[in-house]
């Protein structure tokens, strides 16, 4: 069974702080790593899909890195803003089926 | 605005009722998904449809019956549900089956289901 783990479970930061979270996954049979942002009462929003070892992707103040050999991905948020408050989910894509195995998520609260 | 539309947003039903959840997308996506999400847990995959055919059933009880009448619509028929089935049900879509693992999924806002 594919096990995806995220840490920390929750995080409280001040506006302007930079922060990062970790997603760990089995390095064998890796296919793809997804990051989603899920704000309360909204739908999960895709941030990144990464497939290659060493991949780095950026979207505004948010960036992500991928290490498939050691089985982890980092998500960074530079200069956190209150609107960044959300749960950040990572998920492993399982082959070509489209099946995603999600981690438990990291809930970020940014205080003004 | 979400591009995957789920109705209803909320549903309360008794254990003997029959109801349906609906999901609609007009992005031309040919893979569609149902997920179940319990409080403080990650979404769990229930079903995957590829080109309107059921490709994955994650051992979901038969009281949940999916249907994909066309490439834009996905239904989840509910019958004789149990209180533990109360959860948020999310629908998602992605462009092309066969390479879906490396394509982002587009989610709806979900249906909050409560079983009395």
Distance CA(B21)–CA(B108), nearest Å, equals: 12
Confidence of residue B2 (pLDDT cuts 50, 70, 90): low
Residue A97's pLDDT is 76
Residue A58's pLDDT is 97
Question: Which pLDDT tens digit goes with each residue over A10-20?
Answer: 999 999 999 99
Q: Give the pairing of strands A10-14 and A32-38.
A: unpaired
Contact A104 B94 (CB under 8 A): no
Residue A31's pLDDT is 86
Residue of chain B whose alpha carbon sits nearest to that of A30: B101
Confidence of residue B113 (pLDDT cuts 50, 70, 90): very high
The yes-or-no verdict on residue B11 having pLDDT over 70 is yes
Maximum pairwise Cα distance, chain A: 42
3-state SS, residue A63: strand
Question: Which pLDDT tens digit goes with each residue over B39-57?
Answer: 989 999 999 999 999 999 9
The yes-or-no verdict on residue B99 having pLDDT over 70 is no
* Pick from A9-18, A22-31, A45-54, B27-36: least confident: A22-31
In chain B, what percentage of residues exceed pLDDT 70? 95
- Is A87 touching B (CB cutoff 8 A)? no
The yes-or-no verdict on residue A94 having pLDDT over 80 is no
Q: Give the pairing of strands B44-50 and B53-57.
A: antiparallel
Tell me the two tokens of residue A68: 């498939």
The yes-or-no verdict on residue B101 having pLDDT over 80 is no
Q: Give all strands (DSSP E) within chain A, no chain letters.
A: 5-7, 10-14, 19-24, 32-38, 45-50, 56-59, 62-67, 72-77, 86-94, 99-102, 106-111
Q: Please tell me the distance in Å from A49's CA to the nearest CA on chain B.
A: 6
Distance CA(B109)–CA(B24), nearest Å, equals: 12
Contact A43 B102 (CB under 8 A): no
The yes-or-no verdict on residue A73 having pLDDT over 60 is yes
- Is B56 touching A (CB cutoff 8 A)? yes
Residue numbers in B near A41 (CB within 8 A): 109
Confidence of residue B108 (pLDDT cuts 50, 70, 90): very high
Confidence of residue A28 (pLDDT cuts 50, 70, 90): confident
Distance CA(A45)–CA(A109), nearest Å, equals: 17
């Amino acid at each position: 069974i594919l096990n995806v783990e995220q840490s920390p479970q929750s995080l409280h930061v001040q506006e302007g702080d930079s922060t990062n979270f970790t997603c760990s996954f089995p390095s064998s049979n890796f296919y793809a790593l997804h990051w989603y942002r899920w704000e309360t009462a909204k739908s999960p929003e895709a941030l990144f899909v990464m497939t290659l070892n060493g991949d780095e992707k950026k979207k505004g103040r948010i960036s992500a890195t991928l290490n498939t050999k050691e089985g982890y991905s980092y998500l960074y948020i530079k200069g956190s803003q209150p609107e960044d408050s959300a749960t950040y989910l990572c998920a492993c894509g399982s082959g070509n089926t489209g099946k995603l195995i999600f981690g438990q998520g990291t809930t970020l609260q940014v205080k003004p | 605005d979400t591009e995957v539309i789920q109705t209803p947003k909320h549903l309360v039903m008794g254990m003997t009722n029959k109801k349906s959840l609906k999901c609609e997308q007009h992005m031309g996506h040919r893979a569609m998904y149902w997920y179940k999400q319990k409080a403080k847990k990650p979404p769990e995959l229930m079903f995957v449809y590829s080109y309107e055919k059921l490709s994955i059933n994650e051992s979901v009880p038969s009281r949940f019956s999916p249907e994909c009448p066309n490439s834009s619509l996905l239904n989840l028929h509910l019958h004789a549900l149990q209180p533990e089935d109360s959860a948020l049900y999310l629908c998602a879509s992605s462009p092309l089956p066969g390479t879906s693992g490396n394509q982002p999924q587009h989610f709806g806002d979900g249906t909050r289901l409560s079983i009395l």
